[in-house]
Amino acid sequence: MARWKLGVLLFLLGLALLALARFYFSGRILPGVAVAGRPVGGMDLGRARKVMTELAAEVENRQVSLHLGEQVLASTPGALGLEVDVEATLARAYALGRQGPLLERLALLSARERRVEPVTRLDQQRLMAGLESLGGAWRKEPADARIEIDAAGRPRLVPAVTGWQVDAGILKSRLEKATTGQIIDIPLNRLEPRLTTAELAARRITRQVASFTTLFNPSEGDRAHNIRLAAGTLDGLWLPPGGEFSFNQTVGPRTPDRGYRDALVIEEGNFVPGTGGGVCQVSSTLYNVALLAGLTITERQPHGLPITYVPPGRDATVAYGLIDLKIRNDTPYWYLLKTGVEAGKLTMAFYAADEAPRAEVTSHVLETIPPPEKIEWESNWPPGRVEVKREGKPGFRTQVLRSIYRGDGKGQPGVVSQDLYPPQPRIIRKGGP
């Protein structure tokens, strides 16, 4: 019973002391408080603020050295974005013994020194700028493993490279605790590449399985620009086993805000200016190299007119949101597409494993359709006057065959497509009747 009474008495005494301390030290920090080892107990807020301002200057201007790889960079915490928040530190020191659970405040009364750590913050933008100004870096991006094609057309695996980024949280803590002249190891977080060397090696890209080239006139600047732009979006495309590729989804809308220009396109059997002219040559080139690689064509439409840059029946028109070219990989092998545009030539090639199939593709014109003649009568012309408004062009019925050769060397022939390209009429203007 006596111990119980003694405990109650001590508790009440502690409450009284807390009340007395808050009254006596109103507007002042409670006794025994020190900020980073600097006594501020009993000081009014103005005097304590001066002490903490001096502490902030000392911390921020302390000379330190940063160890990053083989570099040692001389700087200060302040130049690297570390700031001591004087007002927040002052508020923390003033609140000690005044706020918090009652038992914790009572325990503080028995402590000889009540230590407060400065409130700091790290400005990451200043840290990045500070490191760069010293010749260091905030982040090194990882690099994926990739396939490069050598001068002989052979694929070569380039290993992945691991990246890193400065761990700002740990560096902040080290800068806070650093002493003058100390060498600080900059903490780094490892950044892994999205495609590792082992993952790429497992795809077994060892040879070119198919290649196809189409020609264009480089002096047609806007059309050449569109070809180069669309082909660039396809370079490096991966087609995994069982995967399907959509030309429209990959290349995206052919609009001016995405860099496409006006050039001739086919609409309703005529060549007219339109945004993205030339992109169909890219889709047609892709269609041909896919046929030669033994891939499956799941969606394709021919143009409304015969096209001269590919063999008869081997074109593939596209129109975003309306007409697509889709290709599926029904083999167990990964395929990599590489594209190149140079000196009026557009070349595409698929690379895969040695065991990947190959194909032979042939085109046949089954029928040539002569152009019909269309007369336009001009009532305001004199009888007998005749002019050819447009020469006609023949149409064609075509058939494309493909034989796919697999590991056993036996071909699997089949019909790829049978298409009709309507003739363009010969238009004659006559006076009369």
**pLDDT value, residue 60:** 84
Per-residue pLDDT at 20: 47
207-215 β-sheet, strand order: 207-215, 345-352, 335-342, 237-239
From CA 214, how far away is CA 414, in angstroms rounded?
24
pLDDT digits 0-9 by tens, 240-264: 999 999 999 999 999 999 999 877 6
Are 371 and 424 within 8 A, CB to CB?
yes
Distance in angstroms (rounded) separating the CA atoms of residues 266 and 284: 14
Segment 205-224, tens digit of pLDDT:
999 999 999 999 999 989 99
Query: Are the beta carbons of 84 and 117 closer than 8 angstroms?
Result: no
Give the model's pLDDT for residue 267: 65
* pLDDT given for residue 268 in this prediction: 57
Residues of the chain with pLDDT under 70: 1-26, 97, 99-113, 135-136, 264, 266-272, 274, 433
pLDDT at 51: 87
pLDDT of 132: 78
At residue 433, the pLDDT reads 66
Those residues whose C-beta lies under 8 Å from the C-beta of residue 88, and which sit 6 or more positions away, are 119
Predicted confidence at residue 7, as pLDDT, reads: 46
- Which pLDDT score is estimated for 364? 96
Look up residue 35 and give its amino acid.
Answer: V
Q: Which residues pair with 249 in a beta bridge?
A: none
Q: What are the residue ranges spanned by the domains of the chain?
A: 24-191, 203-431
Measured CA distances, 305 to 42, 197, 309 (Å) = 94, 46, 12
Whether the CB-CB separation of 109 and 33 falls below 8 Å is answered with no
Closest CA to 305 of 335, 268, 330, 280: 268
Distance CA 389, CA 145 (A): 58
